[in-house]
Structure 1
Amino acid sequence: MRTPDAPRPGVPLSRRQMIKLGLGAAALAGIGTQWAPITAFAKELNDFIRGPAVPDIQPAQLSEHVWMIWAKDGFPTPENQGMMSNVTFVVTHEGVVMIDPGGSVQIGEMALRMIRTVTDKPVVAIFNTHYHGDHWLANHAFVDAFGADLPIYAHPRSRREIEGVQGSMWQSMLERWTNQATAGTRIVAPNRDTVHGDHFRFGDVTLRVHHYGVAHTPGDICVQVVEDALTHVGDVAMDRRIANMDDGSYVGTFHFYDELERNAPSRIWVPGHGHASGEVLAWNRELFEGIYENCLHAVEEMAGMEEARERVLQDPRVAGKAAETAGFEGNIGKYVSLAYLEAERAAF
């Protein structure tokens, strides 16, 4: 028995029937040129499900070779269309190298327009600093522009997570958080692994990769632009924001900072969120120490989590940053909980 919406032989499919059958634009377009009405509908459907273009944001030059498109917001909304993390690019004699191209195909296309205001060189490589999708989903736009063989580097752990659960989860979450503004973005995972100590030479610029264990995530990399005394730290450190620590470690973050300062001396630290400066690591270290040390002392004294939270909020290292830290009120409780649980594991 055929349902009312089932297709009938010899009768063209309606728009409703096509959507119910799950025929995407690419599949419909491939049916053949003899099916001109269906091909036209395929284009219409693709336009319908794709989010709108992201408004241009002019890039700022940070150093001789490095430019950044700054994201003023720290969280995704329908209004900012998911533009919540900085997009950074390095202009070399050989071409442009992207470091975290953004969280949607639309953001990537905006970044490409902005790169063209600086240089006409092609993009020759991408580095994804970790597996959170606001940093890498824009890979899609660059592969569309420069081909599937474009080298996209990430730590092996990040690459596996993007190919697995994290990739599809972040794609879905960003669509939901932005009311479908990122729709049409497909998952393009890194196609090259990079590990601690790797060096890359792009014409006149040397990039060095740093990884020192679990910090923001288990697969964080930081990318040092050697000639510019500048290091992109991804989300290992943020400016006026608290880095999401659900997948990370406070103790691991302190170790990461120590090693970066020892092995990647930089005048400028470029965060994934917030402004670049020479103070990014110091600002984030002080905030995290104020959170973690109070939790550790509470655990050692057998005090509960609520007591730990009160100590954290009274610590000048934390209290002095509350007003200037985006999302502080809504998130400080979770970060105290995570620090307390980590301190419990360390103590026992």
Structure 2
Amino acid sequence: MKRRHFLRGSLALTALTTLEFAPWHVVSAVAREVDEFVRGPVVKDHPLEQLSPHVWMIHSPDGFPTPENQGMMCNLTFVDTPRGLVVLDSGASVQIGEMAIRQLRQKFPGKPVLAIINSHYHGDHFLGNQAFVEAFGDLPIYAHPGTIAAIQGLEGNMWRTLMEQWTNQATAGTRVIVPNQPLAHGQELRFGSLTLRMHHYGKAHTPADICVQVVEDGITYVGDVAMDRRIANMDDGSYLGTLKCYAELERNAASRLWIPGHGRPGAGVLQWNRELFQGIYEPCVQAVQEGQPLEAAKALVLRDPRVASRARETAGFESNIGKYVSLAYLEAEAAAF
């Protein structure tokens, strides 16, 4: 048994024995102290990279959480405004957030973090909130209302638990800090001379994705609406909605650079994802129209040149393509009625 598991179990048993008849708020406070005492290890430093005059990023080299990467799977993006720094997604744990703060303090000594924007409710994008709140006090944490409701509900603690499991407790000690400021499509946040414009075009990666356009720099952070050489998790999403989102972003947030939550930024990020998603969804539509079963749809997808040409370079392709085809097939069936 790992030492952290043993310590957590021992402390929890002691707390339960001691507080058997204590009020619930006291039990909750002790449980929180147990979690904070048994913390995962420090995350190694990852460097800041400058993408534009005001936008910086800590790139995550991995796309999936493991014990080895300690949950470092999502890019962390920062906007350097005249008043202070704005965080666009805070990472998958308090330890990752603390690592990011170390980098920011080296590069921008004395400059405060003013706000956080969480692009959606998957844990690798919001579980680092805790570190920034502990370091900079109560912050406005912005998100779509659907994201706020999801994190307040089942998604918050579910993602915290999953991240601990996937990383062998490396993220232990992380607490869920829920966003506290709702965002709407078209809303603008101004920080001195910089404008952050919000884009939401319905259900895409999730029902509540927010993409953040840094207007003056011609850059848009798209979160997980699009990824670089990885298929976005579509369990909560929509292929048709995602394709619509790409078209609307190109029309309304025309940017020279698209920053994904996973992978490298680039001018072609949306187009790469568009062709892959079309290559998955359109054969499923064909299969449904012809009355073919799911297995036939999968064969069509794998033969589609838009998919075949990307298979080798797409992280997690072999282990996930079956699920993604199944989701596309179900969506095509629903659209046919």
Give the corresponding residue for 1:192. Answer: 181
CA distance in structure 1 between the partners assigned to 2:18 and 2:260 by the alignment: 40
Q: Which runs of 5+ in 1 are unaligned?
A: 1-13, 32-41
CA distance in structure 2 between the partners assigned to 1:135 and 1:16 by the alignment: 28
Q: Deviations over 1:221-262 (max 9, x none)?
A: 000000110000000000000000000000000110010000
Number of matched residues? 320
CA distance in structure 2 between the partners assigned to 1:17 and 1:118 by the alignment: 44
1:21 is aligned with what amino acid?
T
1:100 is aligned with what amino acid?
D
Give the corresponding residue for 2:134. Answer: 144
CA distance in structure 2 between the partners assigned to 1:17 and 1:345 by the alignment: 49
Give the corresponding residue for 2:120. Answer: 130
Kindly state the Cα deviation for residue 27 of structure 1 after the two structures are TM-superposed.
Answer: 6.7
Preserved CA contact (<8 Å) 2:35 2:174? no
Kindly state the Cα deviation for residue 204 of structure 1 after the two structures are TM-superposed.
Answer: 2.1
Give the corresponding residue for 1:259. Answer: 248
Tell me if 1:21 matches 2:17.
yes
Alignment RMSD (CA, Å): 2.0
Which of 300, 322, 325 aligns to 1:336? It is 325
2:275 is aligned with what amino acid?
E
| Equivalent runs, 1:11-90 vs 2, <5 Å | 18-21=14-17, 49-90=38-79
CA distance in structure 2 between the partners assigned to 1:328 and 1:292 by the alignment: 15
Kindly state the Cα deviation for residue 16 of structure 1 after the two structures are TM-superposed.
Answer: 8.3
Q: Which secondary structure state, in structure 2, belongs to the residue aligned with residue 115 of structure 1?
A: helix
Give the corresponding residue for 1:34. Answer: none
Tell me if 1:229 matches 2:248.
no
CA distance in structure 1 between the partners assigned to 2:71 and 2:203 by the alignment: 26
Give the corresponding residue for 2:3. Answer: none
Preserved CA contact (<8 Å) 2:35 2:172? no
CA distance in structure 2 between the partners assigned to 1:55 and 1:16 by the alignment: 29
Change (3 A) 1:70 1:22: farther
CA distance in structure 1 between the partners assigned to 2:152 and 2:54 by the alignment: 31
| Equivalent runs, 1:100-249 vs 2, <5 Å | 100-120=89-109, 121-148=111-138, 150-249=139-238
CA distance in structure 2 between the partners assigned to 1:253 and 1:310 by the alignment: 23
Among the aligned pairs, what percent are the same residue? 63
Question: Structure 1 length normalisation: TM-score?
Answer: 0.88
Give the corresponding residue for 2:85. Answer: 96
CA distance in structure 1 between the partners assigned to 2:148 and 2:81 by the alignment: 25
Kindly state the Cα deviation for residue 146 of structure 1 after the two structures are TM-superposed.
Answer: 1.2
Computing the radius of gyration from Cα coordinates, the structure with the larger value is 1
Change (3 A) 1:138 1:17: closer
Kindly state the Cα deviation for residue 59 of structure 1 after the two structures are TM-superposed.
Answer: 1.0
Give the corresponding residue for 2:7. Answer: none
CA distance in structure 2 between the partners assigned to 1:15 and 1:285 by the alignment: 50
Change (3 A) 1:17 1:156: closer
Kindly state the Cα deviation for residue 193 of structure 1 after the two structures are TM-superposed.
Answer: 0.2
1:131 is aligned with what amino acid?
Y
Which segment is superposed worse, 240-249 or 111-120? 111-120
1:127 is aligned with what amino acid?
I
Q: Which runs of 5+ in 2 are unaligned?
A: 1-9, 20-24
Kindly state the Cα deviation for residue 21 of structure 1 after the two structures are TM-superposed.
Answer: 3.2
Q: Which secondary structure state, in structure 2, belongs to the residue aligned with residue 217 of structure 1?
A: coil
Question: Structure 2 length normalisation: TM-score?
Answer: 0.91
Q: Deviations over 1:160-208 (max 9, x none)?
A: 0001100010010001100110000001000100010101111121100
Give the corresponding residue for 1:8. Answer: none
CA distance in structure 2 between the partners assigned to 1:115 and 1:303 by the alignment: 54
Give the corresponding residue for 2:305. Answer: 316
- Which 4+ runs in 1 deviate beyond 3 A? 14-17, 19-23, 45-48
Q: Deviations over 1:55-110 (max 9, x none)?
A: 00001111110011011111100000000100000111110000001010000000
